[in-house]
Structure 1
């Protein structure tokens, strides 16, 4: 009898030890570390993740929280290979960041198959919470529907009724043009045409000439980062703005304003989910971030990643496990409240509902120091610029009626 009890006790200890080992949280930050998206994600995303882990105390479920990082090089095959390695052999329980929607959509499908959590903080296609939705995935960034509807409706109302799009030729750009076109038409405007370009394009001459010849009074830039900056600069060189054509940058990050400079960017109105110099708490966090990034201010993707990792760790703690089903349920049940998001929640389709901010780029004389680039014009509730859940293509998030 003593032998049997000892064997049973030993087996219980071993199974308990194995259970503890399995509960260790390992988060993978998959980003673009040196390419076109490095300024808005990349090393800054790693810094934001480390801040979140440190602020949580470095441990959860009695185990140290581990971070691993990798560069997907803006290549879907590289990103998927890294993610599969993490999930299959390294015990990663959640993947976060992943700029470039085409890569993110692949990661979302993979994590759904593997039943792991995906914290999408940098992929903007509205398909993440639409036809490609997953019970294990959440979208923290502004999506293309929000970006498009906020700018499209406001500009049509102001008289910009005929649009021409210059569009990045990949999933993000296509989704942004699609959603902006719908918003423009719903508001009573029309679309004269569009011209596609590859990622990291250098010469927009032919695209701008097509826009000029179309007779459009608004050129919608359905692209991002360096492509947006070059589009704006070359549009000014071509005289489009001097001729009265409105350049609508549907996505413009604070790093883009920094690259353009206030003399060129002043007066531009953008919508973002975060501005580091908005409140005392965002300012304090922003300064901590800048201490680790050679003085570069955080953008909305960095802030979203910090909030996502923090909320995920809270959910793991509440669920008492890293099991994706239980953690995902806890994430959706809990309100999102931290130093950067004060009144957020996760909708049934995985979309993070939070306030957005209508911002105007300051004139050079209005800026009081480095990265003091915006003034807040208004707070925009998520419900005002989000696709209604009743119109969602997510098969598991339909609402009655």
Structure 2
């Protein structure tokens, strides 16, 4: 197949959608497909000259002219896959939501979340209508988790749909051993290092983490938090503002010196940082979800992970089997969970083993194969004139 992957962000831009699209493009190309990535002009095509896919950085602001460029760039393809996350497309504008009616090949939309686009001031209920229309007019819909699948199915009449989970965006081995990493960053052997991975925004529970850290330190535990990776992504400009607010909160709580920031790291260095922590702590304010690549990376890291109860039950996440679950937005509960795991090495090991096993079930070979199969099903159901070979 000649496949187009349409993404609002792509390396060297930072973000989960950028990493997802890069890995999916690589895996699909490895299965013998011709893959073309259509993305923003902020992505550098030269960086990918040796990649098994081609990069076409044609979009400036994801406006109407960009929609026309997109149509021209995809005209000879068999199928186009839009990696949808509203914030990744400029100011969350209207044009990208009309893509199914503009591109010539069948268009499949992968919904990485269901947040409604901003569109314009006072758009009101139109925002949800535009999202539903995108889902309903697409030749196929891929959701990354069952909760999103149920919500979309209830709100839109979908032509064809499936659920394919995402995988961890960290695939390389660690750059160094945990003891070496901790020594290089001034972390002593007896300090309890709590890792947090991912960008910092209001949904990630950063305030809960810092207040729990303050409680642990006040009780005498030699705890520190390491914020692993860049603090702000390419799409959400509020990340940097929220990060600064959290750093100010840490100072006011008296734990500023106990917070370590690594900044952006290479993939191998990121894996080394995750594996150097006593445990990972991801206290999402809206609950854990398998749509979060940061959580999947933590599960694959080999460390026990504390996270928050999902908004709706996720069968794969099992308390004290592959994660340790706490209520969201409750610093005291989070601090208590850290104490519990730190006092029980056997439980930490059990959770870590279970997490690694769960993460292995979300492997990229399966993700690419299932995506390929869904594309084939969509093409088989498409009108003959819509399929280009």
Query: Shorter-chain-normalised TM-score: which range?
Result: 0.3 to 0.5
TM-score relative to the length of structure 1: 0.36
Give the number of the structure whose alpha-carbon radius of gyration is greater: 1
TM-score relative to the length of structure 2: 0.37
